[in-house]
Chains A and B, each alone.
Chain A
Amino acid sequence: MKTVQTKAKIISNKKIKENYWHLEFESAIIAKNALPGQFVNIRVGHGFVPLLRRPISIYAVKGVKVKLFYQAVGTGTQSLSQRKSGELLDLIGPLGNGFDYRQAVKAKDARSILIAGGMGVAPLFFLAEKIKTSQPLVLIGAKTQKQILCMQEFKKLGCTVKLATDDGSLGFKGKVTDLLKLVLGQTKGLGLFSCGPRPMLKRVSEISCENKIPAQLSLEEHLACGTGACLGCVVATKSGYKRVCKDGPVFSSKELTW
């Protein structure tokens, strides 16, 4: 795998709803090498404000174009949302260890289940694209209907999509992990792939253990370097601290200690 620091041309940077944005840039080398679960580390502003790069998951790749899906919530992502098409974006990528989906592609009698919470849909959509022929089952959770993301996009790939909202405004009423338990009662799960808030991932990990199905979890963490040098983004594992940016962001649930 080749990682590069490059200045990539922004093709488009559009608000799709509320504070959710799609940014597409052109980079043949990143497009060629990117794997689901990997990210790019972006110098979002001009100069040194904000100071550090911001890591954003790769959402989709088409030809030489790479698409990101992000929520403009903090100073970094808000700066990113101000960037215009035609500008050059200083980015490093693809970075990190992505999902291992070799088994998922071959699945016949059992299905891969993707569990997304909030912005966790982004890396899972890229994964779904890669394993769509195996017809994965996608569970998307959010607090309320308005925060359910990417439902149509997953359906267009041919995935079966099930929804969960805390307030019951759409789909199953309750946590997406409760929906997962329900689903596993009816469907044979081959492997779980998940990205979302830490408490949700912890629950997915427990369910994976109870049902003896392997789970791969993509963690989110503040990064300083993004290249494995500073040891700032570590997470506790059974074999000591590991770097989210380099050893992850995808970890086997068996590795993590909570």
Chain B
Amino acid sequence: MVSQIKPNLSIKIGNLDLKNPVMVASGTFGYAEEFKDFMDLKKLGAIVTKTITLKGRHGNLPPRTCETPAGMLNSIGLENPGMDKFIQEKLPFLKKLAIPIIVSIAAEESPDEFVTLIKQLDKLAEVSAIELNISCPNLQKDKLISQDAGDTFKLVSAVRQLTQKCLITKLSPNVNSIVDIASAAQNAGSNAVALINTLGGMSIDVNKRVPKLGSWVGGLSGPAIRPVAVKMVWETYNKIKIPIIGMGGIMDIESALEFFIAGATAISIGTANFINPRVSLEIICGLKQYMVDNNIQNLSNLIGRLKACKE
């Protein structure tokens, strides 16, 4: 009789231990409470919150979403209650879940806002890690921090000194070289990079001759961007040493596996949460089954194990 292996899904990102590598992406899962009716939230590897800014933001002019072929555009514009209200009103529910909570943060005007935000979060034991969202495409900026390796290095270096907590830098795919930006984040002390944020996009109502989004342009997500994301994870995996959290159009176990094989240590589920709130848990089950079927004891034996094409 063949004894079945018990797959080990646990991973480590910096000083953060996760029981499994499946998390939910910022902005697609609210503050988790929105999904409590549909699933056991405690089974998630981690939850990444909606991005929080220092002051509350109203967000962008509606309409804010539209469906596109195999994807969707959004221009929410980081609507959030601001850090103080987040800590008072949203964090207590997340704390009760007793799973790693990763708080995503962004600056509106000046990178100095990151400093204030990190100082606040550093004091909170229930915050397991911090995601630096330097890649939101919906803030009407000419250039994002993550579109410049120098700016990325400068920002990450500045905040690195302020906390021992695990820092994850979220990167934009709207760049010439994702490897350059990921390397800059790594060299500045980021514990991991998360990629990819949405791809810039636009859609037009031809009858009215108006943009379909209130802010004209937005970010594309969903299966349409998956091949772009997989390639960027693979390219980056070959050049950096810190873990990669892969995301971009993961809809099911097969698409999740692509990311691990390309080199992601963990994955984030985004748009798929809207279509199937339970998808993350289904992917965790699917991952265990795949490891059993392929006799893989530890996830590390799957990460980046892409083979060359056979003749």
Contacts and interface: CB of A to CB of B under 8 A. Distances in A.
Interface in A177-226: 221-226
Interface string A1-32: 01111000000000000000000000000000
Given A222-B65, A230-B30, A240-B58, 14 more contacts: A3-B37, A3-B38, A5-B276, A51-B71, A221-B62, A221-B63, A223-B65, A227-B277, A229-B30, A230-B74, A230-B76, A231-B50, A232-B74, A234-B59
B66 interface: yes
A233 B65 contact: yes
Contacts of A240: 58
Contacts of B64: 231-234
Q: Which 7 A-B pairs have the closest CB atoms?
A: A229-B30, A232-B65, A229-B34, A225-B274, A224-B65, A232-B64, A3-B37
Secondary structure type dominating chain B contacts: loop
B40 interface: no
A227 B70 CA distance: 21
A51 B30 contact: no
Given A52-B67, A53-B275, A235-B62, A224 B251 contact: no
A50 interface: yes
A65 to B, nearest CB: 22
Nearest to A75: B67
Interface SS of A by simple majority: loop
B222 interface: yes
Interface in B46-105: 50, 58-59, 62-67, 70-72, 74, 76, 79
Given A2-B37, A233-B64, A48 B275 contact: yes
Contacts of A49: 70
Contact of B274 (A4, A50, A230, A236): A230
A158 interface: no
A241 B67 contact: no
Contacts of B278: 5
Interface in A48-67: 48-53
Nearest to A76: B67
Contacts of A228: 30, 34
Q: How large is the interface on A (under 10, 10 to 19, 20 to 34, 35 or more residues)?
A: 20 to 34
Contacts of B37: 2-4
Contacts of A5: 38, 276-278
Given A3-B37, A231-B59, A235-B62, A48 B79 contact: no
Given A225-B274, A229-B29, A230-B30, A51 B65 contact: no
Contacts of A51: 67, 70-72, 222-223, 271, 275
Nearest to B38: A5
Interface of A: 2-5, 43, 48-53, 90, 92, 221-236, 240-241, 246
B67 A227 contact: no
Contacts of A225: 28, 34, 273-274
Contacts of A234: 59, 62, 64, 79
B27 interface: yes
A227 B76 contact: no
Given A224-B74, A229-B273, A48 B223 contact: yes
Contacts of B223: 48, 51
Contacts of B222: 51
Contacts of B28: 225, 229-230
Nearest to B68: A51
A43 B50 CA distance: 25
A1 B68 CA distance: 33
Contacts of A52: 67, 72, 274-275
Contacts of A222: 63, 65-67
A68 to B, nearest CB: 19
21 contacts: A5-B276, A5-B278, A48-B70, A48-B223, A49-B70, A51-B223, A53-B275, A224-B72, A224-B274, A225-B274, A227-B30, A227-B34, A229-B30, A230-B74, A231-B30, A231-B50, A232-B65, A232-B74, A234-B62, A234-B79, A241-B58
Contact of A241 (B34, B35, B59, B72): B59
A246 B274 CA distance: 14
A80 B285 CA distance: 30
